[in-house]
Amino acid sequence: MAVEFTEDTPNEVRFFEAAKDLPGACDDIDLTPESVDDIAEIFQTPLTGAYNWDYKIQENRIRQLYELGKKLNWNAETDIDWTKPMVGMDDELRAMQNGFAGWGPFEALSERQKLEFYDHSDAWTLSQFLHGEQGALLVASQLVSCAPTYAAKLYAGSQTFDEARHVEVFNKYIQKKFGLMYPVNSSLKSILDKILTDHRWDLKFIGMQVVIEGLALSAFNTMHELATEDSLIKDILGYVIRDEARHVAFGIHYLEEFVKSLSEEEREERAEFAYQACVVSRERLVPTDVFEFYGWDVEEARQIFLESSGTAKFRNHLFSRVVPNLRRIGLLTDKIRPKFEALGVLEYENLVDDGEIDWAEMSKPLKAG
């Protein structure tokens, strides 16, 4: 196995053999895959680990979530029917969501090229899901070491396996469905870098379990609702959503008591971190790499994308889980509230948070879809 270590995040669109017949924006683009087996980027972290010699078994919600995680494991190879149709939203809905109708560079594309553009946009979105899941995999593995309690270490161990499955299943779907993969969005990468390299274990919980996982859970649910019935992606998201709901609930219940023990200064520092993570997360939803691939003016295309009604509603809706969860754990402080109001997402603060677990629903036997 050859591994190429790099100090810079790769920024090329990758094409796979399955997509040799999928045209890009230009016919002269070289679709030859990289010759190296693996590309690895190094990051340094001052992680402080913690043994736990207590081994205290507490029958609490974290223990219940851990037991559910063991009970509801699934296998991406045997529990998913990969012969199902690889279709998502219908083309009319995809066109409406992109919001480029009437814009010159988009209208200059042929009908076939417009459909290819929608595929690139979908591939970009799913690529970000994949990269986010790898980030979650790395953070969960850190939490095994640095979480101070026995129950949290066990749950973080089970979450690490969940995240490995998510990386596996999204990677396989992207390569089989699209045959192309977009690099990690710079905004997502900056959040992951901050979470992975910060020495404070509770910031890893806040950044990953509450913000990134909360946003992902909202996005997965939205895509699940819009996906074509009996499609492969609907089945995949059905499994992933069950796992993510446990992960977010774990973060809320673990942080809820811990945040109470912080000083006011420490609590405000965590609240500001959560807010900044949300600000950056809004930008990670804009597929600028696709605009660049098609040779468009990136800033002009970005503005058109952001001004479309479908995009605005979707971006705000993703925070419908994060904001009430921040309120529950005590990080929607009086000082930080005006900043969330300026983002236009404070309207969600009184919605039901993910700490209110529907155990009957979460405990149902696994089934796809």
Instruction: Region of 102 please: left (phi>0), alpha (psi -120 to 50) or beta.
Output: left
- How do 38-41 and 3-6 pair as beta strands? parallel
- Kindly calculate the radius of gyration of the chain based on its CA atoms and give it in whole angstroms: 21
CA-CA distance, 127 to 143, in Å (whole number)? 24
CA-CA distance, 17 to 234, in Å (whole number)? 25
Please calculate the CA angle 225-204-126 and round it to the nearest 5 degrees: 30
Q: How far is CA 118 from the centre of its chain?
A: 20
Flag the least confident range among 31-45, 247-261, 313-327: 31-45
Q: What is the pLDDT of residues 85-102, one digit of tens each?
A: 888 777 777 777 778 989
Mean of pLDDT values over 122-127: 95
User: Can you give the pLDDT at residue 29?
Assistant: 40
Residue 48 has pLDDT above 80, yes or no: yes
Counting residues of the chain whose pLDDT is more than 90, the rounded percentage is: 72
Residue 28 has pLDDT above 50, yes or no: no
Q: Which residue has the higher pLDDT, 29 or 310?
A: 310
CA-CA distance, 295 to 289, in Å (whole number)? 10
Mean of pLDDT values over 305-321: 84
Strand partners of residue 6: 41
Mean of pLDDT values over 71-78: 95
Mean of pLDDT values over 282-288: 88
Residue 203 has pLDDT above 90, yes or no: yes
Mean pLDDT of the chain: 89
Confidence of residue 350 (pLDDT cuts 50, 70, 90): very high
User: Can you give the pLDDT at residue 368?
Assistant: 54
Strand partners of residue 4: 39
